[in-house]
């Protein structure tokens, strides 16, 4: 009770709780789907609900149906709400209010009747017992040890025997119920401390979990702000990459084509260098061959004109064919070389690298141009972050701490007084055992008396000659009656107290608690001073305890349970458009100036056109013909003719000269093969490569100029729009994070925060502990005890009357039957 008083000494504790709950929902914000190209940011986590200890439900109490039926009969009146309100208003001072007293008496008339019966029992039982004892001592009321023998004596004895046995068995049944309910009450009290601790722990957990849930909402809000801040810090790579993605479609093919034409120009330049080198070397070697051929031809001409040369004049005409007077020229080669040199000097690769560098520098340019804007937006985000973080300052978490501290104190009191309560319960249990054992002792006396009487009584014996066993049976029956007179009024006093206490607790607390009438009674205006949901929370509509309990019973959130939507405009609180408008102004006032990318200058394009045209001016076919002419020269044939001419000569000198001159031609031919022919082959290969370039150059240059023109036009006309569109998409992406958080926070606050099921479970558990366990067991105990007390009255009567049929009498009485009878021998069988 001390702990309970400590709890209610908070003074408006419930009001503080509700005020705290109202402020709870100030914290929050944002979730719509993010743009398709928006990178995935921080996704708010689902709110983790706290796990509570399980609370066992109510079990069907032993004898609860019988006891409740009896109490409903005793108290059939409905719950006296108006009467209780009147008593509360008068603080119990009704001594001078006769009408109120009359209402109380009328309501309690059933209990008063039962109480009157109990008082009569308490007064009469010891009084009757005392009078009976005095009477018997004076030889009256069965005190004279004389029993009249009549014809119906045996029938009377048997009737009393079965009546006593039946009454004793009924008392035994009630006594068994006493033992059982006494033990149940002990178990209920022992379990109640555990269940109360579990309830308090669950409430503690609930009180501490709600601030944690608030913190989780605030933390998610700070995470959102931090995520947007990180995005702003990386605006160069993020926004710049989006701009690059929009530009690289037309730009990359153009740069690639320029890179390819640069390779063609470089390859052409290399071919031209090779051609010039080959032609120079070839011309030098051809000059040497021409000189050698002229020298040999002069010697051959001199020999053929020698008079000693026989038949040489016929070969004079063939000598005219002996010549190597030829050159290789390539038309327009120099002009092509000049054009290629001009294109090479333009350095197309440097143009490509310059374009790539400017393209790659876009993120850095975005970072530089948005530095001031980012700083302003980050300051705005810091303001938002401080606002979100300051929400907790508006929530009276200290009230939660006070309530939690009070519950902790209550739990400490429970732990402190649990040993004393266990000791008191042990005493109560012991008293209950003693009461049950005394009743059991009366039952044992009755049963022993009945058993010994059955065994030891012989109906034919004279009452003065009854056996000791039968006399002992009578003594046990009288002992049971004496014990009944001695203790029954005390036991009835216990029944009276427990009946008044337990019965009224059931009818005024437990029964209306189960039906919900008790909560309706608590909702009575003015019953709890200075406590009104509507005034405390500032609600527009009334809110009752029964409504709160019903909502919590369905584990609803505090948002709907306490009608907090009447206090807080959550949609306005979570409206991020006001932040978006200000941030949008910062974005719109900022201008991102991208570098101008010029792929090819007009002069370079003109040079490429000249290169394409000049390649076709080179006469490849004439060069090929010249190479074929030189390749077809064969001095070996003339050398063979000189050898044939030498064989027919008579003059050895002439023969020798012709032979030497033929060898000289073969030597020259060998030099042509080893020197001139490879150069011609190389020259032919270069000419072929040049012809391949010439055949493809028109299409290549046209494709390059087309792609470059398209890319340049795209860059010149669309860059500004691309930058604005990418900036808007980046802003929508960042605000999408806020929107996502706002929707999540809205859902969390209205559907997940403060699910008050544990509160309803605590109320239900208290009802189970107080009513279903303790009060039902207590009521079943006094009902069982009262049952025994009621049946002790006939037990006493039957026991006292039956005892005289078993006890040994001091005076005998002979019953004479004058009716003639034929007595036949028969077996002696006892009539029992």
Beta-ladder partners of 358:
none
Q: Which of 363-377, 567-581, 709-723, 776-790 has the lowest mean pLDDT?
A: 567-581
pLDDT at 432 over 80: yes
Most confident of 151-155, 206-210, 395-399, 815-819: 206-210
For position 794, what pLDDT does the model report?
92
CA distance 373 to 734: 15
What is the chain's mean pLDDT, rounded?
74
For position 579, what pLDDT does the model report?
66
Q: Are 65 and 430 in contact (CB under 8 A)?
A: no
Place of tokens 């007064």: 123
Q: How confident is the model at residue 121 (pLDDT cuts 50, 70, 90)?
A: very high
Residues 678-693 have a mean pLDDT of: 72
Residues 457-466 have a mean pLDDT of: 66
CA distance 666 to 638: 9
pLDDT at 555 over 80: yes
Beta-ladder partners of 740:
31
pLDDT at 738 over 80: no
CA distance 809 to 145: 5
CA distance 662 to 655: 11
For position 13, what pLDDT does the model report?
36
Helix (H, G, I), strand (E, B) or coil at 274: helix
> What is the DSSP code (8-state) at residue 528?
S
Tell me the C-alpha to C-alpha distance, in Å, between residue 771 and each of 45, 64, 185, 775: 42, 11, 12, 5
CA distance 174 to 789: 9
CA distance 109 to 23: 50
Burial class (CB in 10 A: 0-12, 13-18, 19+), 607: buried
- What would the pLDDT profile of 70-86 be if each residue is shown by its tens digit? 988 888 888 887 788 77
Measured over the CA atoms of residue 604, residue 610, residue 613 and residue 616, the dihedral's sign is: negative
- What would the pLDDT profile of 477-507 be if each residue is shown by its tens digit? 889 888 988 898 999 999 999 999 999 998 8
Residues 353-374 have a mean pLDDT of: 76
Q: Are 103 and 83 in contact (CB under 8 A)?
A: yes
Residues 529-554 have a mean pLDDT of: 71
Give the number of other Cβ atoms within 10 Å of residue 283's Cβ.
Answer: 13
Residues 266-274 have a mean pLDDT of: 72
Residues 341-355 have a mean pLDDT of: 70
Chain centre to alpha carbon of residue 454: 77
Q: Which of 23-32, 598-607, 685-694 has the lowest mean pLDDT?
A: 23-32
For position 539, what pLDDT does the model report?
65
pLDDT at 788 over 60: yes
Q: Are 411 and 7 in contact (CB under 8 A)?
A: no
Q: Which of 350-359, 646-655, 814-823 has the lowest mean pLDDT?
A: 814-823
Q: Are 593 and 369 in contact (CB under 8 A)?
A: yes
Q: Are 133 and 106 in contact (CB under 8 A)?
A: no
Q: How confident is the model at residue 420 (pLDDT cuts 50, 70, 90)?
A: confident
Q: Are 742 and 574 in contact (CB under 8 A)?
A: yes
* Segments of 27-177 assigned E as strands: none
Q: Are 240 and 367 in contact (CB under 8 A)?
A: yes
Q: Are 780 and 63 in contact (CB under 8 A)?
A: yes
pLDDT at 19 over 50: no
771 versus 580: which is more confidently predicted? 771
Q: Which of 235-239, 493-497, 566-570, 747-751 has the lowest mean pLDDT?
A: 566-570
Residues 536-560 have a mean pLDDT of: 77
CA distance 598 to 3: 86
CA distance 118 to 622: 147
CA distance 536 to 315: 141
Q: How confident is the model at residue 825 (pLDDT cuts 50, 70, 90)?
A: very low
Tell me the C-alpha to C-alpha distance, in Å, between residue 516 and each of 58, 135, 141, 509, 547: 17, 57, 57, 10, 11
Using a pLDDT cut of 90, give the percent of the chain over it: 10
For position 171, what pLDDT does the model report?
93
Residues 353-381 have a mean pLDDT of: 76
Residues 668-680 have a mean pLDDT of: 78
Residues 538-566 have a mean pLDDT of: 78
573 versus 375: which is more confidently predicted? 375
Contacts of 189 (CB under 8 A, 6+ apart): 421, 425, 774
31 versus 451: which is more confidently predicted? 451
Q: How confident is the model at residue 35 (pLDDT cuts 50, 70, 90)?
A: very low
For position 740, what pLDDT does the model report?
79
Q: How confident is the model at residue 170 (pLDDT cuts 50, 70, 90)?
A: very high
Tokens of 272: 């031209």
Residues 244-255 have a mean pLDDT of: 76
What element of type H or E holds 43?
Answer: none
Number of H helices, E strands in the chain: 29, 0
Residues 386-411 have a mean pLDDT of: 68
CA distance 659 to 648: 12
Q: How confident is the model at residue 764 (pLDDT cuts 50, 70, 90)?
A: confident
- What would the pLDDT profile of 314-336 be if each residue is shown by its tens digit? 676 666 666 665 666 665 566 66
For position 694, what pLDDT does the model report?
63
Task: With 0.85 as the threshold, say if the pTM is over it.
Answer: no
Q: Which of 81-90, 565-574, 785-794 has the lowest mean pLDDT?
A: 565-574
Tokens of 705: 């100029």
From the list 565, 572, 599, the residue with the least C-alpha distance to 715 is 599
495 versus 228: which is more confidently predicted? 495
416-422: long-range contacts, CB 8 A cutoff, minimum separation 24:
417/2, 418/193, 421/189, 421/193, 422/190
């Amino acid at each position: 009770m001390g702990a309970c008083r400590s709890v209610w000494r908070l003074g408006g504790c419930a009001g503080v709780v509700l005020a705290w709950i109202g402020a709870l929902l100030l914290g929050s914000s944002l979730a719509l789907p993010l743009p398709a190209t928006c990178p995935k940011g921080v996704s708010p986590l689902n709110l983790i609900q706290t796990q509570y200890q399980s609370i066992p439900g109510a079990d069907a109490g032993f004898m609860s149906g019988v006891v409740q039926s009896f109490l409903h009969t005793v108290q059939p009146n409905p719950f006296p709400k108006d009467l209780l309100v009147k008593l509360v208003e008068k603080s119990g001072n009704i001594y001078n209010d006769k009408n109120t007293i009359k209402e109380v008496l009328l309501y309690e008339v059933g209990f008063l009747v039962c109480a009157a019966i109990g008082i009569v029992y308490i007064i009469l039982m010891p009084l009757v017992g005392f009078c009976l004892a005095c009477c018997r001592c004076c030889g009256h009321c069965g005190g004279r040890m004389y029993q009249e023998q009549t014809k119906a004596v045996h029938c009377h004895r048997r009737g009393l025997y079965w009546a006593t046995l039946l009454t004793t068995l009924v008392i035994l049944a009630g006594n068994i119920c006493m033992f059982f309910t006494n033990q149940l009450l002990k178990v209920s009290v022992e379990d109640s401390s555990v269940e109360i601790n579990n309830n308090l722990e669950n409430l503690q957990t609930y009180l501490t979990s709600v601030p944690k849930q608030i913190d989780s909402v605030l933390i998610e809000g700070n995470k959102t702000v931090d995520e947007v801040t990180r995005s702003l810090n990386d605006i160069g790579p993020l926004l710049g990459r989006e701009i690059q993605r929009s530009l690289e479609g037309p730009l990359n093919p153009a740069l690639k084509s320029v890179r390819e034409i640069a390779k063609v120009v470089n390859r052409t330049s290399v071919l031209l260098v090779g051609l010039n080198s080959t032609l120079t070397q070839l011309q030098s070697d051809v000059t040497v061959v021409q000189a050698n051929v002229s020298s040999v031809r002069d010697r051959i001409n001199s020999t053929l004109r020698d008079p000693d040369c026989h038949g040489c004049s016929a070969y004079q005409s063939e000598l005219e064919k002996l010549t190597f007077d030829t050159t290789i020229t390539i038309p327009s080669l120099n002009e092509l070389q000049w054009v290629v040199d001009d294109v090479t000097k333009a350095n197309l690769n440097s143009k490509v690298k310059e374009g790539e560098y400017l393209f790659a520098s876009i993120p850095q340019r975005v970072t530089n141009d948005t530095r001031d804007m980012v700083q302003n937006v980050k300051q705005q985000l810091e303001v938002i972050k401080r606002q979100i973080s300051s929400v907790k300052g508006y929530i009276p978490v200290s009230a939660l701490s006070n309530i939690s501290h009070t519950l902790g104190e209550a739990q400490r009191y429970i732990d402190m007084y649990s040993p004393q309560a266990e000791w008191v319960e042990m005493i109560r249990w012991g008293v209950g055992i003693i009461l049950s054992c005394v009743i059991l002792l009366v039952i044992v006396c009755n049963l022993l008396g009945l058993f010994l009487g059955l065994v030891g009584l012989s109906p034919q014996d004279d009452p003065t000659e009854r056996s000791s066993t039968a006399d002992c049976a009578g003594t046990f029956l009288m002992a049971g009656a004496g014990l009944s007179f001695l203790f029954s009024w005390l036991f009835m006093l216990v029944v009276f107290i427990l009946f008044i206490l337990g019965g009224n607790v059931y009818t005024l607390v437990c029964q209306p608690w189960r039906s919900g009438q008790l909560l309706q009674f608590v909702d009575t205006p003015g019953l709890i001073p200075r406590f009104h949901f509507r005034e405390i929370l500032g609600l527009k509509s009334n809110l009752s305890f029964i409504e709160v309990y019903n909502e919590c019973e369905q584990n609803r959130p505090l948002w709907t349970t306490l009608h907090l939507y009447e206090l807080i405009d959550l949609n306005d609180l979570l409206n991020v458009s006001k932040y978006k408008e200000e941030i949008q102004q910062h974005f719109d006032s900022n201008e991102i100036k991208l570098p101008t990318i010029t792929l090819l200058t007009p002069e370079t394009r003109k040079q490429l056109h000249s290169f394409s045209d000049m390649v076709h001016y080179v006469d490849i076919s004439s060069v090929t013909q010249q190479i074929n002419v030189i390749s077809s020269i064969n001095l070996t044939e003339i050398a063979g003719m000189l050898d044939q001419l030498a064989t027919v000569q008579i003059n050895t000198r002439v023969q020798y000269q012709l032979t030497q001159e033929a060898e000289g031609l073969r030597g020259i031919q060998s030099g042509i093969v080893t020197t001139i022919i490879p150069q011609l082959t190389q020259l032919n290969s270069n000419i072929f490569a040049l012809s391949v370039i010439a055949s493809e150059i028109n299409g290549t240059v046209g494709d390059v100029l087309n792609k470059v023109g398209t890319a340049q036009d795209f860059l010149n006309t669309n860059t500004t729009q691309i930058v604005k569109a990418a900036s808007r998409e980046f802003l929508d992406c960042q605000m999408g994070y806020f929107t996502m958080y706002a929707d999540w926070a809205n859902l969390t606050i209205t559907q997940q925060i403060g699910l008050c099921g544990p509160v309803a479970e605590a109320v239900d558990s208290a009802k189970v502990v107080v009513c279903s366990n303790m009060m039902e067991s207590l009521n079943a105990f006094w009902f069982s005890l009262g049952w025994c007390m009621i049946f002790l009255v006939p037990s006493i009567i039957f026991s006292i009357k039956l005892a005289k049929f078993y006890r040994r009498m001091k005076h005998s009485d002979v019953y004479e039957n004058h009716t003639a009878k034929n007595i036949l021998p028969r077996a002696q069988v006892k009539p029992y």
